[in-house]
Amino acid sequence: VLDAGGEPAWVESNKVKTGTTMLYLEFDNGVVLGADTRATSGEVVADKMCAKIHYISPNIYCCGAGTAADTEKTTDLLSSNLTIFSMNSGRNPRVVMAVNILQDMLFRYRGQIGASLILVGWDNKGPGLYYVDDNATRLSGRMFSTGCGSSYAYGVIDSGSREDMTVEEAYELGRRGITHATHRDAYSGGVVNL
Ligand SMILES: *[C@@H]1O[C@H](CO)[C@@H](O)[C@H](O)[C@H]1NC(C)=O
Ligand SMILES: *[C@@H]1O[C@H](CO)[C@@H](O)[C@H](O)[C@H]1NC(C)=O
């Protein structure tokens, strides 16, 4: 099936994508990460219960949008790299260290890995939030949403977030943001993970 010219056109469109909406909110009392659970392959829902919030280390989690296999492998590699670091040093990794390694990993492939990730953690400097994508763009901030449903989620979280939210209010806002996106965006769906 593969011709000498490289990948046939269908390979791109048949990859399982995480479609996706995910968001992150930082507030005085903590951080909230949210994601939908729909994975699509072209027009088909490939997985209704796809986990998009990935464990990195005890103090760091990562939300991945993009090609499902790429977000999965990238976060697995980052997690094992940091586990080895923790076993050697006896402490949890700093958030900025995780984001540096992630950015290095993605930059090495110059946009060939389909991943746009939100990395969130807590260390002795407090909360840390970064957006990193396959072109190794890196942004730091207090609130992000990514994936194709992100504009809908932004509408909700931009208008609803406050720094003095309680934990319950932050959960509720995150849940509303993702739910709204799953109603409007065809590539987001399933249930809300927070
Ligand atoms: C973790 O990643 C960094 C940066 O890519 C690399 O220098 C280091 O050797 C890796 N550590 C392990 C244990 O693979
Ligand atoms: C990465 O860069 C390429 C080429 O400039 C662009 O087509 C692509 O959309 C970028 N990816 C992201 C996630 O911004």
pLDDT for residue 155: 93
pLDDT for residue 156: 93
Query: Does residue 152 carry a pLDDT above 60?
Result: yes
Residue closest via CA to ligand 1's atom 7 equals: 101
Residues above pLDDT 90, as percent of the chain: 48
Spacing, Cα 104 to ligand 1 middle (Å): 10
Fold of 22-184: Glutamine Phosphoribosylpyrophosphate, subunit 1, domain 1 (3.60.20)
- Catalytic residue check, 166: no
Residues above pLDDT 70, as percent of the chain: 89
The tokens describing 143, both together, are 């609130």
Spatial separation of the C-alpha atoms in residues 141 and 132, rounded to whole Å: 12
Candidate from 17-31, 36-50, 65-79, 154-168 with smallest mean pLDDT: 17-31
What is the pTM assigned to this prediction?
Answer: 0.84
Indicate whether residue 141 lines ligand 2 (CB < 6 A). Answer: no
pLDDT for residue 172: 93
Angstrom CA distances, 79 to 24, 83, 98, stand at 20, 6, 9
Query: Does residue 119 carry a pLDDT above 70?
Result: yes
**Where do the domains of the chain lie?**
22-184
Candidate from 28-32, 45-49, 74-78, 114-118 with smallest mean pLDDT: 28-32
Q: Which among 20, 67, 74, 179 is annotated as catalytic?
A: 20
Choice from 135, 137, 138, 144 to test ligand 2 binding pocket (greatest atom count within 8 A of CB): 135
Angstrom CA distances, 107 to 97, 135, 181, stand at 15, 6, 30
Choice from 78, 81, 99, 100 to test ligand 1 binding pocket (greatest atom count within 8 A of CB): 81
CA 146 to chain centre: 7
Q: Which ligand is nearest to the CA of 114?
A: 2
Query: Does residue 191 carry a pLDDT above 70?
Result: yes
pLDDT band at 182 (very low <50, low <70, confident <90, very high): very high
